[in-house]
Chains A and B, each alone.
Chain A
Amino acid sequence: MNSAVNRDRTLPQLEQQVQTLLARERRNLSWVRFRERGIFLCLVGCGLFSLLVTGSIIFVLASETAKFFQFSEVTLSNFFLSTQWTPLLGNTKSFGIWSLISGTFMVTAIAMLVALPLGLITAVYLSEYAPRRVRSTLKPILEILAGIPTVVYGFFALMTITPLLQWCYSGFNVYNAMSAGIAVGILCFPTVCSLAEDALRAVPTSLRDGAFGLGGTRFDATVKVIIPAALSGIISAFLLAITRAIGETMIVALAAGSRAQITVNPAEEAQTMTGYMVQIAGGDVSNFGIEYYSMYAVAFTLFAITLTLTMVGNYIRTKYRETYD
């Protein structure tokens, strides 16, 4: 039947040819299998690298913090109970983390007072009210705001917001928590807005239509139906924004000052945890002294707080997500 092939080849020759072809195919296949395996292992290596990063963060922070607590000047009770943070005072060194935490939380609270209402309302506007044209201009503006480096916000806080505050009320210090807090709030605003908007837009249209069908206005639908439905996403957006505000460094380093104290007066200086780390790293502190290791203890505290918040945020988002099919 295969006359074209049979014409110039004998049967054994043909058989040999088939065998060589099959052998080549097998070699090819084993090479392909080998390549697949190698590439897969490379990718697994990439994946494990991210685990390694987390592992080394925890290892580095924990081991260096342990070294910090081995200094005779430092005690656990001093660290957790004292309200004085004076690591640079020669004779009366005191390491009470609460003054740094209070500074951090004051700046964060001011930032959230700015970012959360502004972000949520803008998100509601973008997702429920805004016409297409407004949306397509507002979104890029928010993206630009989100892309501005934090050092620029720090400059803005120190050079523009602080003079404005001092013009309003002369009691404001040159470095104050209020100005840093407002700038951090502006920084977090696009984050809150885009995450909350994602959550709001994920609510199916049928729920909106149902609310309208029952006679609700857009306001009713938003407040009574859509926001409750998107609540898990909105709360996780808030938590992520808080994490971002707590970890924000350059703005507080430039505008919040460098005196760690427990105060509720936003017109005064307030040093945050991140601000302290920058002060130590940028200053002329001898490597491997007690101040150097105190930086690690502060970083560990900061990492513990932000990691907890991030995990709670992710948990809320995945656990309490309303799914609609």
Chain B
Amino acid sequence: MSEFNPKGDEQVKGQTPENSPVADPSPTNKMQLAAGKSTEQFRPTHLITSRVRLAKDICFQRMCILTASVSVLILVFLLGSILASGIPSLSWTLLTGFPEPEPENAGMWPALLGTLWVCSMCALITLPLGIGTAILIEEFTPRNRLAQKLASLIQLNISNLAGVPSVVYGILGLTAFVSMFSLFDDTGDSGAPSLEIGAVYYDQFSNLASDPFLASGDESARERYFLVPVDLRDDPTTVPTTGMVAYENQEAGLVPVEIIAIDPFAEDPSTSPDQLSRTIDETSTPGRISEKQWYYLRLPFGRGVIAGALTLMLVILPVIIISTQEALRAVPTTLRAGALGLGATPWQVVWNVTLPSAVPGIMTGSILAMSRAIGETAPILIIAGIVYIRSAPQHLMDDYTVMPLQIYNWTSRPQEEFHHIAAGGIVILLAILLTFNAVAVLIRHRMQNKLH
């Protein structure tokens, strides 16, 4: 037996490719063993199989490298094709303009501010909730069986929530936040809020000069609009009478004006320009408009910013909980034990010891979750619909649009020009998201350096 060994060794050495990237000596070992056991006629077969196996290994490694480079290629191709059509359409108008119907004037300023409003509201609501839940699961060991059951139920529930498609959260938000289970729809008029705080209603009249048929070519009379305050939204419309005091919206604020009401078909309006400009058709129906304060609140929320923020909260809550749990788990147990040994209460341990050392991890996870919230489209599309928004939100119940929704809107239009500005919008969105990710990576990097 022993005389086979050196022979086998030699042959194997001869057959092993010198430049093989697999540098481990294991094939040699195996050949030695095999050669030791087998008779001479088996040896070539083993050599062939070993060569085949080595070739297989090299093949597989090449395939791996090929596949891995495919992922790089995909990224390059994806970014390249978007940048190629997006960079030329980047302009100041795209950033600060309003979504006009003409592509060359269209911009995404309201969408940008909408994203800012919705995502900052969402962060304000989600962070305490998510971090609280994670602390409960990780730091407070359940004392009795019931609490144990509850804790494992919450844990299971969170991992299930993480797998729920975001569009389903949109559906939930539509029912729970936008229409609030129709609980407040006692007015019978769906969509009209049944409870409002911070809104003042006016009836708006226009003077005769603004009516092209009645203006009678008098150049001196200019268009004026008068507001008559109303107490409630559902009050009957005001009937204008001569001598009534209405208000006009001027730079200084609301200025009282005495109006003249006539029936233009029965009598001729006064010829004096001042009087003519204060004259109202007494049969005209006013438009009911409202002025809302910044703290305007209504129930149900309607398709406003707060409904969007709450819906996004549902989407990213599991993400934040899971990442916070991981950050808390990474804190060494000895730190906690030390603090407990000094007589700290469980919350004092969490607040003074665990949380401070987990903050970088929590921040990384939260930033990544927020970048997901910024890019999330489906739930917002479900609850807000595609509406034409001309201004940034003024209060929490205001209509809004967000950047991905604006991009979706432009992409789904048939005109080619809109596709170009959609690509421009994507470039802006990606720039924001990459900044977020870079900050997260930076924090994680510094944290790793600190730990080592």
A interface residues, Cβ below 8 angstroms from B: 32, 35-36, 39-40, 42-51, 53-54, 56-57, 60-61, 64, 117-118, 121-122, 124-126, 129-130, 134, 138, 140-145, 147-156, 158-160, 186, 189, 193, 212-220, 222, 240, 243-244, 246-250, 253-254, 274, 277-278, 281-282, 287-288, 295-296, 299, 302-303, 306-307, 309-311, 313-314
Residues of chain B contacted by A42 (CB below 8 angstroms): 132
Inter-subunit contact B31/A215 (CB<8 Å): yes
Inter-subunit contact B31/A278 (CB<8 Å): no
**Contact A122-B24, Cβ < 8 Å, known A54-B161, A186-B74:** no
Q: How far is the CB of A181 from chain B (nearest CB, A)?
A: 15
Listed A/B pairs (30) with beta-carbon separation below 8 Å: A40-B140, A49-B129, A53-B172, A53-B314, A117-B67, A118-B71, A138-B72, A141-B71, A147-B371, A147-B434, A150-B378, A151-B404, A151-B411, A155-B82, A156-B82, A158-B411, A193-B71, A217-B26, A217-B56, A218-B24, A218-B61, A219-B53, A220-B53, A243-B165, A281-B381, A281-B385, A303-B164, A306-B165, A307-B163, A313-B163
Interface string of B402-427 (1 = CB under 8 A from A): 00100110011000000100110010
Inter-subunit contact B132/A147 (CB<8 Å): no
Residues of chain B contacted by A138 (CB below 8 angstroms): 68, 71-72
Inter-subunit contact A155/B426 (CB<8 Å): yes
B60 at the interface (CB under 8 A from A): yes
Residues of chain A contacted by B64 (CB below 8 angstroms): 121-122, 124-125, 129
Inter-subunit contact A219/B60 (CB<8 Å): yes
Closest to B429 in A: A149
Inter-subunit contact A307/B164 (CB<8 Å): yes
B346 at the interface (CB under 8 A from A): yes
Instruction: Tell me, in angstroms, the Cα distance from A287 to B303 when the chains sit together.
Output: 13
Instruction: Tell me, in angstroms, the Cα distance from A187 to B29 when the chains sit together.
Output: 44
**Contact A144-B171, Cβ < 8 Å, known A40-B347, A47-B137:** no
Interface string of B431-447 (1 = CB under 8 A from A): 00110010001000000
Instruction: Tell me, in angstroms, the Cα distance from A277 to B378 when the chains sit together.
Output: 9
Residues of chain A contacted by B34 (CB below 8 angstroms): 215
Inter-subunit contact B165/A249 (CB<8 Å): yes
Residues of chain B contacted by A248 (CB below 8 angstroms): 165
Instruction: Tell me, in angstroms, the Cα distance from A48 to B150 when the chains sit together.
Output: 9
Residues of chain A contacted by B56 (CB below 8 angstroms): 217, 219
Residues of chain B contacted by A254 (CB below 8 angstroms): 408, 411-412
**Contact A51-B67, Cβ < 8 Å, known A129-B61, A149-B433, A274-B167:** no
Inter-subunit contact B172/A56 (CB<8 Å): yes
Q: How far is the CB of A46 from chain B (nearest CB, A)?
A: 3
Q: How far is the CB of A135 from chain B (nearest CB, A)?
A: 10
Interface centre among A42, A215, A274 (most CB of B within 10 A): A215
Instruction: Tell me, in angstroms, the Cα distance from A130 to B157 when the chains sit together.
Output: 36
Interface centre among B60, B65, B165 (most CB of A within 10 A): B165
Inter-subunit contact A145/B71 (CB<8 Å): yes
Q: How far is the CB of A66 from chain B (nearest CB, A)?
A: 13
B386 at the interface (CB under 8 A from A): yes
Closest to B387 in A: A282
**A-B CB proximity, top 8 nearest:** A215-B30, A247-B165, A149-B375, A310-B163, A46-B132, A125-B64, A249-B378, A217-B57
Determine chain B's interface SS by DSSP, over half rule. Answer: helix
Instruction: Tell me, in angstroms, the Cα distance from A246 to B129 when the chains sit together.
Output: 28
Q: How far is the CB of A118 from chain B (nearest CB, A)?
A: 6
Residue from B60, B71, B161 in contact with A122 in the complex, judged by beta carbons closer than 8 Å: B71
Instruction: Tell me, in angstroms, the Cα distance from A325 to B140 when the chains sit together.
Output: 26
Closest to B171 in A: A299
Inter-subunit contact A296/B153 (CB<8 Å): no
Interface string of B163-181 (1 = CB under 8 A from A): 1111111111011100001
Instruction: Tell me, in angstroms, the Cα distance from A247 to B378 when the chains sit together.
Output: 10
Residues of chain A contacted by B26 (CB below 8 angstroms): 212-217
Inter-subunit contact B159/A314 (CB<8 Å): yes
Q: Knowing that A149-B429, A156-B78, A302-B165 are A-B contacts, what are 14 other residue pairs whose CB atoms are under 8 Å apart, sorted by A's residue number?
A: A121-B64, A129-B64, A138-B71, A143-B441, A150-B377, A152-B429, A160-B81, A186-B78, A193-B71, A213-B26, A217-B27, A278-B378, A310-B159, A310-B162
Residues of chain B contacted by A215 (CB below 8 angstroms): 26-27, 29-31, 33-34
Closest to A57 in B: B172
**Contact A125-B65, Cβ < 8 Å, known A155-B426, A156-B82:** yes
Interface string of B23-61 (1 = CB under 8 A from A): 010110111011000000000000000000110110011
Inter-subunit contact B82/A57 (CB<8 Å): no
**Contact A122-B68, Cβ < 8 Å, known A149-B375, A149-B377, A219-B53:** yes
Residues of chain A contacted by B412 (CB below 8 angstroms): 253-254
Residues of chain A contacted by B434 (CB below 8 angstroms): 144, 147
Residues of chain A contacted by B60 (CB below 8 angstroms): 218-219, 222
Instruction: Tell me, in angstroms, the Cα distance from A32 to B348 when the chains sit together.
Output: 10
Instruction: Tell me, in angstroms, the Cα distance from A174 to B318 when the chains sit together.
Output: 37
Instruction: Tell me, in angstroms, the Cα distance from A181 to B251 when the chains sit together.
Output: 56
**Contact A118-B160, Cβ < 8 Å, known A47-B154, A217-B53:** no
Q: How far is the CB of A262 from chain B (nearest CB, A)?
A: 22
B63 at the interface (CB under 8 A from A): yes
Closest to A49 in B: B129
Inter-subunit contact B172/A148 (CB<8 Å): no
Closest to A313 in B: B163
Q: How far is the CB of B129 from chain A (nearest CB, A)?
A: 5
B5 at the interface (CB under 8 A from A): no
Inter-subunit contact A299/B167 (CB<8 Å): yes
Instruction: Tell me, in angstroms, the Cα distance from A60 to B173 when the chains sit together.
Output: 10
Residues of chain B contacted by A143 (CB below 8 angstroms): 437, 441
Residue from B78, B136, B170, B419 in contact with A47 in the complex, judged by beta carbons closer than 8 Å: B136
Closest to A137 in B: B72
Inter-subunit contact B71/A314 (CB<8 Å): no
Instruction: Tell me, in angstroms, the Cα distance from A28 to B54 when the chains sit together.
Output: 73
Inter-subunit contact A36/B72 (CB<8 Å): no
B148 at the interface (CB under 8 A from A): no
Inter-subunit contact A144/B68 (CB<8 Å): no
Instruction: Tell me, in angstroms, the Cα distance from A48 to B273 when the chains sit together.
Output: 69
Residues of chain B contacted by A118 (CB below 8 angstroms): 67, 70-71
Residues of chain A contacted by B133 (CB below 8 angstroms): 43, 46-47, 49-50
Inter-subunit contact B168/A57 (CB<8 Å): yes
Instruction: Tell me, in angstroms, the Cα distance from A117 to B20 when the chains sit together.
Output: 26
Closest to A243 in B: B163
Closest to B131 in A: A46
Instruction: Tell me, in angstroms, the Cα distance from A36 to B62 when the chains sit together.
Output: 59
